[in-house]
Structure 1
Amino acid sequence: MQSKFDLKYIIDMGEWTKLQESLSLVTRMAIIMVDYKGVPVTTHSRCQAFCQTVRSDKEFSPYCQKCDARGGLEAVRLSRPYIYRCHFDILDIAIPIIVDNQYIGALMAGQIRLAEGSNPNLEQIVSRPQQDAMTADRVSKYELLPVMTYEEVVATADMLNHLCNYVVKESILKHELLERNRQYEPLNPQKPKPEVPALPAEPSSASKTPLPAGNAYKTECSNPTLQPAFDYMLSHKEENFSLKSLAHLCHISPSYFSRLFTREMGEHFSLYVARMKIEWAKELLATTDWSVNEISNHLNFCDAGYFIKIFKKHESVTPLFYRTALKDKE
């Protein structure tokens, strides 16, 4: 229930606040996010001086709160952004955040004036007793409110609606995937890595003590989200794999792919790929008569020298010595 309906749990509020500030700057609208109870979960971005003055006035603040509440309820009823006029005839927008037909909060935007000539006949959602509320100070601040055409307001409301709901749905999906991973772990315990026979150390003047071979790479994946990436790597051994392209293949972000991959394999993506390439190189050394250059080119190393360097880092011997040692064993 918490992951489904608590916006503070669903969204990284630190990152969302940065996005909200940028959206407010670009759209020239004041923006704030509230939960399904109407309680703010972010601070107000670009709140206009006029509205700050009115909201801090004990006499008018209750009318502002009524506008927010009524606007949110109307947006929920319509299941789409609701554009309305407040008790000071200022334009506001309530954008419902709905996931699986469940209302979990809203994005409130606005605090703008309509350009002259725009007459969309919008509802004034809350009225108050007629009285002289426009002091000289408020009049000057009212004149500073951003001015937009109705068409611009509608386009901005649609953009904020699509963006906000997309971010929330993606965040929920991320939490669901993480929860599934936690459930899979007890059912898929890590299998012990197969033992690789040690090869004798490459002769040197310093030592002739045998050095252990590197650990084999893990070939099985228990996480279905990552399975498309594993299938692709195993069937395209000759390619250089990009974390970004494999993440796209799994329909998740590169950063999320990297976290899932490290958790699944126990090592970073780049380290795993290097180990995997070396294991394939060992297979080719054992089963073909290809030269070191040919194997290096086939596995898409930048050059043979780099291939030999990486191979020796993992296996403690050069590719040629590895092949010779295998033949001696036979």
Structure 2
Amino acid sequence: MQVDDFKGGPCIMNKLLAIDQIFDMEQWTNLQRSLAEVTNMAILTVDYKGVPVTEHSCCHEFCKKVRNDPTLGKFCQKCDSRGGLEAVRINEPYIYQCHFSIVDIAIPIIVNDKYLGAVMAGQVRLPIHKDDSFMEKIFSPANPRIIEEAKENFRQLYNEIPFLSYERMQMIAMMLYFLCNYMVKEAIHKEQIIEMYETVVNRHQEILEEPPGAHYTMESARKMKAALSNVILNSNIENAGCDVPVSTNSIIIKAFDYIYHHKGESPSLKNMAAYCNVSSSYLSRLFTKEVGESYSSFTARLKIEWAKALLESSDAPISEISDELGYSEAGYFIKSFKKYVGVTPAVYRTYCKG
């Protein structure tokens, strides 16, 4: 499951790097247990390494035995990890067989173009005499004898693993896929609301600390509006997907951070150099060396990329986009956009939305 490739500058989605920041783990564990009981499938949530982050709901006794075995348990973890990665590759639920020919399903959890983990469901078998050659066995140990010995040692428990038709497995897989997808989107929306709330609270605290005077009122309101606009702007731009340049230079990183957190501004080279505590000439040379283009060229092009993202992902008027991105007037924005893209913003939006 992938939520529209959230990319972009340092902001909300960069915080969401672990499953426990996506799901309320206590509530999810309760839901996971109920789903396992209803579907007659064992369900487990793992991180990107295949390491469990929840208890194994309705885990069958045979699988408990092998997962608790020091050697066999590692094989199970490899299956979970590889199943999740294969689900990422195809970006949908992946149904496969483990080393014991037991069927499992991996539902990938992807946020900000990062694979965080997967919901694993299964511990079922295809009905006897059903052809299973179409289903990949995702892992086979170098010594298959260890698998056969485990089957023999726990034959009765193995035979108790339930049968389920492939069609039923597919239905359950899609149900879990849509459920997880919905939960991730809700988590993202919640994070955006929290950040906007924190922005208002922080600005309000700054206002309270300002010396009294009527001339502060409008300026404070303007700053709060700008801060909130930037949060919303970030969200719209990230939803469309804009890559972040990468640098290891601390000065360039500081410049990037300011640029991405103040999309409605157009800081000059001189102002940015002052912000980074270096000379204009030094920043100019360093920027060209590290980024591969001049500061002015980079910032101008970046504005256009953000504009394209907003045109693709929102219905905001051209004049509003121009204003949000810090252009002095809409006419100049349209002229700049056409210079880089070859068409006007209106034509570009019409083309993108078919």
Scaled by the length of structure 1, the TM-score of the pair is 0.54
Distance in 1, Cα, partners of 2:199 & 2:137: 51
1:269 aligned partner: none
Counterpart residue identity of residue 153, structure 1: M
1:80 aligned partner: 92
Correspondent of 2:113 among 81, 91, 101:
101
2:48 aligned partner: 36
| Unaligned stretches of 5+ residues in structure 2 | 1-12, 208-224, 230-354
Distance in 2, Cα, partners of 1:44 & 1:147: 19
More moved, 126-135 vs 10-19? 126-135
Change (3 A) 1:29 1:68: same
Map 1:79-158 onto structure 2 (within 5 A). 79-120=91-132, 121-128=134-141, 129-131=143-145, 132-134=148-150, 138-158=154-174
Distance in 2, Cα, partners of 1:62 & 1:162: 30
The answer to whether the 8 A contact 1:74-1:82 is kept is: yes
Could you tell me how far 1:31 is from its partner in structure 2?
0.8
Query: Which structure's CA Rg is the greater one?
Result: 1
1:171 aligned partner: 187
Could you tell me how far 1:102 is from its partner in structure 2?
2.7
Runs of 4+ in structure 1 off by over 6 angstroms are none
The answer to whether the 8 A contact 1:118-1:150 is kept is: no
Counterpart residue identity of residue 79, structure 2: C
The answer to whether the 8 A contact 2:124-2:161 is kept is: yes
The answer to whether the 8 A contact 1:99-1:169 is kept is: no
Correspondent of 1:7 among 16, 19, 38:
19
The answer to whether the 8 A contact 1:84-1:122 is kept is: yes
Q: Give the number of aligned pairs.
A: 195
CA offsets 1:43-80 (integer angstroms, 9 cap, x no match): 11111101111122233222212211211111111111
CA offsets 1:149-190 (integer angstroms, 9 cap, x no match): 00000111111111012112202211220111110234457x
Counterpart residue identity of residue 96, structure 1: P
Q: Is 1:70 equivalent to 2:79 in the alignment?
A: no
Partner SS state of residue 124, structure 1 = coil
Map 1:203-214 onto structure 2 (within 5 A). none
The answer to whether the 8 A contact 1:34-1:40 is kept is: yes
Could you tell me how far 1:25 is from its partner in structure 2?
0.5
Could you tell me how far 1:136 is from its partner in structure 2?
5.2
Distance in 2, Cα, partners of 1:171 & 1:149: 33
Could you tell me how far 1:100 is from its partner in structure 2?
4.0
Counterpart residue identity of residue 43, structure 2: I
Distance in 2, Cα, partners of 1:184 & 1:140: 62
The answer to whether the 8 A contact 2:125-2:163 is kept is: yes
Counterpart residue identity of residue 195, structure 2: E
1:289 aligned partner: none
More helix by percentage: 2
Identical residues among aligned pairs (%): 47
Could you tell me how far 1:112 is from its partner in structure 2?
0.6
1:50 aligned partner: 62
Distance in 1, Cα, partners of 2:100 & 2:62: 10
Structure number with greater CO (CA < 8 Å, separation at least 6) is 2
| Unaligned stretches of 5+ residues in structure 1 | 192-221, 225-330
Change (3 A) 1:66 1:37: closer
